[in-house]
Structure 1
């Protein structure tokens, strides 16, 4: 699905500034003093976050690693849902954006690598720096599955160093290790799910309009309910109920955009009441269904392809 709900037609060049709060950390080159590392950031969402508009990072890779939950990105006309244990890569000067960030109990880490000067990059010698940059370009995909436990430990170590002693050489060394592992995983894709979790995901997607019962899904997966909950979260990065809600809201947005009423949308997706549907919808989109429908209508009316210049 090509969901451009939060995409502006024109992109901006993004500029991050120093910030440290309980929820978000931005450390720039001014704080880190590591050549080629333009930014290191951490997000620990306490509430759903509004989407970022379409933007670029001039001469810089931006790599985001999601530890748990899901994060939605958009680039080159395509949406990417990045689950826990996966990284999203935006390439230098490539317009990209995010959708709403749902509630998640774990961190999202990201950093920007300025490649404008390979002669002065992560304390590496120029030939090795150029080779590493070429290898990053060679990944040729935006989402890479990794070994969640291993990469989370690397990112946590970088974060702890950034927030503590700030040993520049150690931080740069762990960034390089992360990049080498990312390149490796891009060539040897990690399979996040197992057969039983694949069965669960397939069952959920096939029956997404129904009132899904976790005990029945666990039975379809041939697991006990406690085993199912633990394994599902371990392999997908989110709880079964959160996954179901995300998929239901994605489906509901299609229905609403195509003219289905809010009440009928709630009924088709087996929500008990339209009020409860509206509550869940707003949690994941920051909009009520009515606001979402109005937003879609306004975008259609404002579109140059609408054919009526008087509107």
Structure 2
């Protein structure tokens, strides 16, 4: 599946950074292929979603990761995007080797190495909110890892990695003490779900929840990780998927108008943007599965 994207990989191991494998970043401007089930032996993977949202699956449990979220998979855990496309957005991922010998880690030794390793291996949550320093540290590691990296740059990477991992531990602890989104944002989401087939807009949502339009947009994006209109489009496409899969009595035009799209052509454009394929291509998957059964 082809999509406009930029993808950057920094080979930390090749730079000689102890216990660090790689740091990656992608910017997708449309849905891309799904991430198939895989695992990393002795490697912890930390994902930071800067913009957009993404489904991840570990075992039989699915997680919806949104802008500002951190998501962790531990060594030898199978994970994937649950047959969902990698959605448009900006995502960073960091792979760190978790050694069996806890006396040396990231250039630290003794109690310092052991305390950081034990904190990482015993994170109280795998999915939690990050903060503004997470991206700052990740971007700085990319900057220090340039092709002409000096010994001082490599030292700086070690320091930033330790600061980043310490911050991951702190954010996970904070999530345990302050679980879940606020009741207010959940009410907004329920309102959107209840009126998804109407002409939802920023003025309508802001007015209903008694908040200014500018404040509503900032607050919503800060809480959810995407803009209100982006969130609405995503929810419409998720509902459209269910109709395409389970309601063959409705054609594409019917579904487009049921979800208040101005035309079937516009609906198809939005659907492909988020699902990575056209409505008819998506529906055909279920016809083929039924024939096979």
Q: TM-score, normalised by structure 1?
A: 0.80
- Of the three residues 40, 44, 60, the one matched with 1:61 is 44
> How far 1:263 moved relative to its partner?
3.1
Confirm or deny: 8 A CA contact 2:105 2:117 kept in the other structure. no
Q: Distance in 1 between matches of 2:127 and 2:155?
A: 28
Q: Does the alignment pair 1:277 with 2:267?
A: yes
Provide Cα deviations, 1:143-164, integer angstroms capped at 9, x if missing partner: 11122x1222222222222237
Gaps in structure 2 of 5+ consecutive residues: none
C-alpha spacing 1:159/1:216, structure 2 compared with 1 (3 Å): same
Aligned mates of 1:161, 1:202 — CA distance in 2:
44
**TM-superposed deviation, 1:140:** 4.7
Displacement of 1:62 in angstroms is 0.6
- Aligned residue number for residue 127 of structure 2: 143
Conserved 8 A contact 1:144-1:186: yes
The corresponding residue for 2:72 is: 89
Distance 1:122 1:132, change over 3 A: same
Gaps of 5+ in 1: 1-21, 307-311
Structure-1 separation of matches of 2:220 and 2:12: 39
User: What is the CA–CA distance in structure 1 between the aligned matches of 2:20 and 2:291, rounded to whole Å?
Assistant: 43
> Secondary structure of the equivalent of 1:23?
strand
Structure 2 residue 110 is matched with structure 1 residue 122: no
CA RMSD between the two structures:
2.5
- Out of 202, 220, 225, the residue aligned to residue 232 of structure 1 is 220
* Number of equivalences: 280
Residues 235-272 of structure 1: per-residue CA shift (max 9 Å, x gap): 32211111111111112212222134333322332222
Contact 1:144 1:182 in 2 (8 A): no
Deviations 1:100-155 (Å, cap 9, x if unpaired)? 23333xx42111111145454211215433432332232253311122x1222222
Residue of structure 2 equivalent to 1:309:
none
CA distance in 2, matches of 1:125, 1:134: 13
Does the CA-based 8 Å contact 2:13-2:22 persist in structure 1? no
Q: TM-score, length-normalised on structure 2? A: 0.85
CA deviation after TM superposition for structure 1 residue 191, in Å: 7.3
- Pick from 259, 280, 285 the counterpart of residue 290 of structure 1: 280
Distance 1:192 1:85 in 2: 14
Taking the aligned partners of 1:236 and 1:203, their CA distance within structure 2 comes to 15
